[in-house]
Structure 1
């Protein structure tokens, strides 16, 4: 190691005995140690290994080592790049802010002050408040409200991050850690609201709260109920997880609670368990009903699998699905199957049966495919399903007597002429007789009307130019069966098929300026695949009918003409100088005369010989082999008849109650009053047909609909009540004999505040089950299986304190009577009055009833009483069928919100199936 030579000389000092100062000596020594410890001279570079130069030149140049530059140890550090990252900026996003009164910045404290309607946006975070302070040194934002002149706390903060909105009293937010302390916050979570005194925001997706309240009540200052969340974690839009929680009703704790709770929160469909309702049925024991699982398959289709179970072994299964594709189509599907057990095995009244029901509804948006359309409306199943079903959702459909279905596809081929084709499958089912009629399928095709003699330009004039023809074809595969044979081999074996071709040729033109004459002829051809052959079995004395499976056809044609006109009559009641109430009555008469001729096609008829029991007398019986044709049989009797009809319409012009109206008000007196009859020119007796009279009108500003009809027969009856060829007036009677009559009347009255909603879920359920579009036959009693009214509906009108001066109500009436006297019965065949109504006794109480009275048999028809109490966030319903075979009642109380609808209590008594 080389030592640097000192640059100064030491002075030689002779030691003398001196008086010492201990303090100064210690100070000098300390100073010397300090200097030697922290001071240093120039570093001497280390000797390095010399590098021998390669010989490239004969001249060797030597360099003195002292002239080499000194290399610092610092420059020889092996770390080229510093591993310490530069300090991150305080704010990573642009901050925008504004305020109404003032915006100031304290440079020394590095704080920004915003006052009055202050707003600050940082990334996806937006804060609005009366006062906002931003501390750049601590990376915090503090927001709070302000006090106005009335000492009221206003402009409380509104904290928004993404789609999450929090409305606290004040908030402290750290922009660096993205954590926040929120005081007295109110947060809406998927239909529910979380109210917490202190909330800690961990990040943009997690909140922790202490002693928070979860409720769906609208009045958050004094909620009628809430769940106390002692410690909870909130993930907005996903879930709320809490520890010990229990229900409070008006701040009173209840024993209803759980050691932990999970509240799903989602803005989209989510699969989950459907909580069943429980109860007891007289015959089948205890039950669980309408429980299962909901599958949120995707945004276009869902599926609910529901089941019922009874302790006696009965069970039910239901599949319900709804699907929709915007601007394309929408529909729903439901299948129900029930296994019913009565009594117990070993008892004489033990029985076991199965019932099912299939419903499908599909509608297509007209804009999706203008030239083709597919639709479906299916309701088929066991005839006894609605009468024996265990599910209370079907109570409004138990009186249905007919089930019907239709599935159709149609397509139009544009052009000249236009061509249409369609395929349809139909089904009708009588639930009383259990008879089923189906067409699988029906094919229809048509070619648009063609005018072969019409001019290429201008309008058609005259008889020839108006001649038109078209072509129609219809093919059916018709099935008649019963419940027991439905979808068996026998059902398809008995099917009947055929085609019908029809070509109508017609024309119309004006006659004598005021009459319209139309004439037509029609060609009809029927194809069938089955015919019959009849013979008489002399041994067994009966007629034998053999089915012949082969293709056969028959052809018919007819001719018809009609002449009609329109007559207008005006009866004025206005008098000069007087403002009469009735200004005028207009009478419109449309008389018409028609003629029809049908030739006899007896060539399609055969005969078989019937021999008497003694074998001596024979007779020929005529029949046609086309008797089983689904499109009828050829006519074997020549007919020529004249038809007469008159239609009437009566309207009145009356003085309008509105004094500002300049024109009289038009009132319809009779929508229609029609008379029709016919005279058979080819008949040898009873040539006049009975006169059929129909009419209808609407009264009281179209609130009352009235329809009536009657049949008047001009011929008399003999002593055996058989019609004879003698006019009734010539037999000592009146001009006409009333053989039948009917009268119906229906009306609906309501106050302006309580109009019955035809979109009510109960009414929709009735319609889907094939019932009425009103509540005259009652509504379903299964409240737990129905969604309540949307909470986001229109706000109710503020009700006056004196509520009894304006009670909303509605009333629906239907009256029907039928009279029969064809064979001197002279009796009322049916006579009934049906009614239903609802009354809101108070803004929260409503009662309703559906019933009827059979005036013929003097007894009440199906009756249902309904009571409903709106408990703000809760709903209470009670439905009661006091008598009949469907006697039952159902009590329900539960939270109205869909997210908590499983929190409910339900008690019911189902109908006794033995009745």
Structure 2
């Protein structure tokens, strides 16, 4: 009986313990788990996996430091949705359905989890539903590393693990192209520690479709360091599970994010004029957190080569900019042949912008685009196609400073450059200095209201000094370009006042005094031996002064015609701003000399040919007229809920101007200039026009004579010139123009910085090898069989010029340009840019564009079917920046080199 009591007490204690375990299902339970040696053996796993990455164990058998006792460092937390089963016999805990285990920074979620508290190991796997489909795949997370396998075994003591059919995503990026996701799959993964994994039969892909990737790189064995690198043995590429010849005996995949230094893989090809080539190969170097450097080059087997350097920099809230340098040594044919030629071209682009908030009193900016006039026409880069139609290169580098005193002082230094790519002529100012003192009112209080003519008297001081150079591009940066430089300065002091007459007329009066300095002058004399005028340069400082007086009166006249609020067009409003001005300047004959030619005295000024020219020898007394017009209409809004009528512009401007010079010997009346503009079709179409009307007649030879045209049997005015420009842009209702502009922003910025148009009427500056897709459609997209919406955009530009100054009565310019893009499907898009010159009877630069989104890949095709720049370009490559060097490019080149 006594023994039965002890047995009964033991049974009660056991039942209470089991009940306590079930009651504390979701509570933290410390487990006395003893760490044992890792003895995991995986069937089918090579024994040498990871051996090449292991280090030898120290053979020293004696260690004075006592080894630490293996034990868990913190508590294990676990829970499950359906049940938690404790097996005392197996010394394991079974968690079923939405099971979760937490230990320090390790998280494990799965359909089923088995926790062995003797070996400190945990096993996680999937659950099979009634249809035989596996669900609740294990999700293993340690720190920031996450893995989604089919099953996993993990040891809490050693933190080693074996993972079957693991799937993980790693953010990685190369160079300056941002970051992408690299999906890593492996049949068996051995986790050595927090930072090292060994993979067996793995796959690497950037495909969004992780279940069935359209491509992957198969790796047999590899060492994987999360967020750093993957070092693999033999690797080859599979497309649609079909192996390809693209293979490497070993491979290195960087997994770092941000900017990383590395090689840029070149493009291979063949040029009919220069032979086989390597293009756009080089090196990318991130200098620091604020700047980078990209260096690429080209090499041709006939000796041609090219070098390009690009650097971008940015300091937040201070400044940002880019620097580009392009150099090409183009060789045509081979030495010894009659068609052999060599041409060196270069181009420099600099863009610098300062944040206005960084220093409100000091600002530095730069926009430089200079180089060889034939750089864009000779360069074979696809990106430069639109710039071949640009006739002007311009640059400006300026520094401005404001001294916030009273009066405020402003000064600036500017260097400018203007280059005609057709003629090769270059005009530069190195540099230009400008300065000004704030306008002051000597007869009025500084903060008071200024009334009347006296209090509104104001004066100002301005100075402008220049070193102007005119040369050709073949002499640029050579000593010869500085020999004909013109140096001078002009000081200006304007004195003005304004007031009102009869409440409605505004009157302004004033004058301007100028003092002009020059560094050299020119004396002239007639040489009978050569029967011509000889100019002698006189070096040294010289100056002259001049002044003028002017006054003007103007007003504003409003005219309104009301038709009634019940009508669709309720009213018209016409605004006129007429003004009349008069200017007078004396003769400055004191700055003139004479020389004798054929018994006649010829007047000349030693300041002729200087930077700011010579003062006028003739007295000036002229009056000018101008009339500005605007016409608006008030129409009933189509929206029935609108409470007010809508204003629309019929004529944004219609301006007339002319003048009459009382002191002129002939042609006293100036031609009437007409200009205007408007917008129609909801401001989608812009129309601008201008013209010139001459009141004087022509003789039989087409020369202008001092006789009224109406007295010579003609009309009151003779149309000598007229021009018109029309531009029209429209998009489909669902086609987001802002989104399209964002995708093409980089290409358009490149063309605009190069001096070209900021639209695609001359084609797009496409650089397929470096294009990035910010809004990637790598996954499935909605593509209905019967699609009713196809986004599109369309642009037109028409320009015409009429010339009749000498009765030629001709259309000197008459051209139509257009461009359009249409998205045939969510993954197919096409575009075209072209135009027609009706005067020369030929098409302008024509370009066809095709693009196909192939999920992980992209395909681009650009074709210029005819003309000087006839060529085509095909590209097929991976969109992700991680594997952007896996690509295929093919292109054609012009049959003859452009010179």
User: TM-score range, shorter-chain basis?
Assistant: 0.7 to 0.9
Alignment-derived partner of residue 584 in structure 2: 597
User: In structure 2, what is the Cα distance between the partners aligned to 1:513 and 1:726?
Assistant: 41
Alignment-derived partner of residue 751 in structure 2: 766
Alignment-derived partner of residue 691 in structure 1: 672
1:822 is displaced (CA, Å) by 0.8
User: In structure 1, what is the Cα distance between the partners aligned to 2:117 and 2:875?
Assistant: 58
Q: CA RMSD in A?
A: 2.5
User: In structure 1, what is the Cα distance between the partners aligned to 2:113 and 2:564?
Assistant: 78
Contact 1:754 1:809 in 2 (8 A): no
User: In structure 1, what is the Cα distance between the partners aligned to 2:503 and 2:448?
Assistant: 20
Alignment-derived partner of residue 141 in structure 2: 160
Residue 761 of structure 2 is aligned with which of 769, 776, 786? 776
Residue 725 of structure 2 is aligned with which of 744, 750, 759? 744
Matched, 1:461 2:451: yes
Q: Tell me whether 630-639 or 432-441 shows the greater mean CA deviation.
A: 630-639
Q: TM-score, normalised by structure 2?
A: 0.87
SS in 2 for 1:398: helix
After TM superposition, list the pairs within 5 Å mapping 1:420-819 onto structure 2. 420-574=410-564, 579-610=566-597, 612=598, 618-751=599-732, 752-753=734-735, 755=737, 756-757=740-741, 759-780=744-765, 782-784=767-769, 786-791=770-775, 798-803=782-787, 805-819=788-802
User: In structure 2, what is the Cα distance between the partners aligned to 1:701 and 1:110?
Assistant: 80
1:743 is displaced (CA, Å) by 0.4
User: In structure 2, what is the Cα distance between the partners aligned to 1:98 and 1:641?
Assistant: 98
Q: Tell me whether 824-833 or 414-423 shows the greater mean CA deviation.
A: 414-423
User: In structure 2, what is the Cα distance between the partners aligned to 1:392 and 1:707?
Assistant: 33
Contact 1:279 1:909 in 2 (8 A): no
Q: Tell me whether 682-691 or 851-860 shows the greater mean CA deviation.
A: 682-691
Alignment-derived partner of residue 15 in structure 1: none
Contact 1:109 1:137 in 2 (8 A): no
SS in 2 for 1:550: strand
Change (3 A) 1:896 1:500: same
1:101 is displaced (CA, Å) by 7.5
Q: TM-score, normalised by structure 1?
A: 0.86
Deviations 1:370-403 (A, max 9, x none): 2111111111111111111233332221121111
Matched, 1:332 2:332: no
Contact 1:754 1:810 in 2 (8 A): no
Change (3 A) 1:311 1:588: same
User: In structure 2, what is the Cα distance between the partners aligned to 1:448 and 1:131?
Assistant: 81
User: In structure 2, what is the Cα distance between the partners aligned to 1:764 and 1:688?
Assistant: 46
Alignment-derived partner of residue 14 in structure 2: none
SS in 2 for 1:603: helix
Bigger RCO of structures 1 and 2 (CA < 8 A, at least 6 apart): 2
The higher radius of gyration belongs to: 1
Alignment-derived partner of residue 858 in structure 1: 841
Contact 2:408 2:437 in 1 (8 A): yes
SS in 2 for 1:648: strand
User: In structure 2, what is the Cα distance between the partners aligned to 1:98 and 1:524?
Assistant: 91
1:683 is displaced (CA, Å) by 2.5
Matched, 1:272 2:262: yes
Alignment-derived partner of residue 282 in structure 2: 292
User: In structure 2, what is the Cα distance between the partners aligned to 1:103 and 1:362?
Assistant: 66
User: In structure 2, what is the Cα distance between the partners aligned to 1:708 and 1:418?
Assistant: 41
Contact 1:678 1:688 in 2 (8 A): yes
User: In structure 1, what is the Cα distance between the partners aligned to 2:542 and 2:87?
Assistant: 105
User: In structure 2, what is the Cα distance between the partners aligned to 1:622 and 1:278?
Assistant: 68
Change (3 A) 1:822 1:86: closer
Contact 2:440 2:460 in 1 (8 A): yes
SS in 1 for 2:385: helix
Deviations 1:806-865 (A, max 9, x none): 112111111000000111110000000011111222222221111110111221111111
Contact 1:781 1:890 in 2 (8 A): no
Contact 1:532 1:545 in 2 (8 A): yes
User: In structure 2, what is the Cα distance between the partners aligned to 1:505 and 1:779?
Assistant: 51
Alignment-derived partner of residue 872 in structure 1: 855
User: In structure 2, what is the Cα distance between the partners aligned to 1:500 and 1:796?
Assistant: 68
User: In structure 2, what is the Cα distance between the partners aligned to 1:586 and 1:789?
Assistant: 50
User: In structure 1, what is the Cα distance between the partners aligned to 2:813 and 2:614?
Assistant: 35
1:893 is displaced (CA, Å) by 0.9
Contact 2:783 2:825 in 1 (8 A): no
1:486 is displaced (CA, Å) by 1.1
1:588 is displaced (CA, Å) by 1.4
SS in 2 for 1:761: helix
1:513 is displaced (CA, Å) by 1.2
SS in 2 for 1:91: coil
Question: How many residues align structurally?
Answer: 823
List gaps (5 residues or longer) in structure 2. 1-62, 173-180
1:874 is displaced (CA, Å) by 0.7
Deviations 1:57-96 (A, max 9, x none): xxxxxxxxxxxxxxxxxxxxxxxxx978485362224656
Alignment-derived partner of residue 174 in structure 1: 155
Alignment-derived partner of residue 333 in structure 2: 343
Contact 2:324 2:348 in 1 (8 A): yes
User: In structure 1, what is the Cα distance between the partners aligned to 2:117 and 2:802?
Assistant: 93
User: In structure 2, what is the Cα distance between the partners aligned to 1:179 and 1:102?
Assistant: 27
List gaps (5 residues or longer) in structure 1. 1-81, 613-617
SS in 2 for 1:899: coil
User: In structure 1, what is the Cα distance between the partners aligned to 2:95 and 2:466?
Assistant: 81
Deviations 1:120-160 (A, max 9, x none): 55444344455655544332344456667988655544333
User: In structure 2, what is the Cα distance between the partners aligned to 1:675 and 1:284?
Assistant: 57
User: In structure 1, what is the Cα distance between the partners aligned to 2:106 and 2:570?
Assistant: 71
Change (3 A) 1:894 1:719: same
Change (3 A) 1:312 1:457: closer
1:800 is displaced (CA, Å) by 3.3
Change (3 A) 1:138 1:688: same
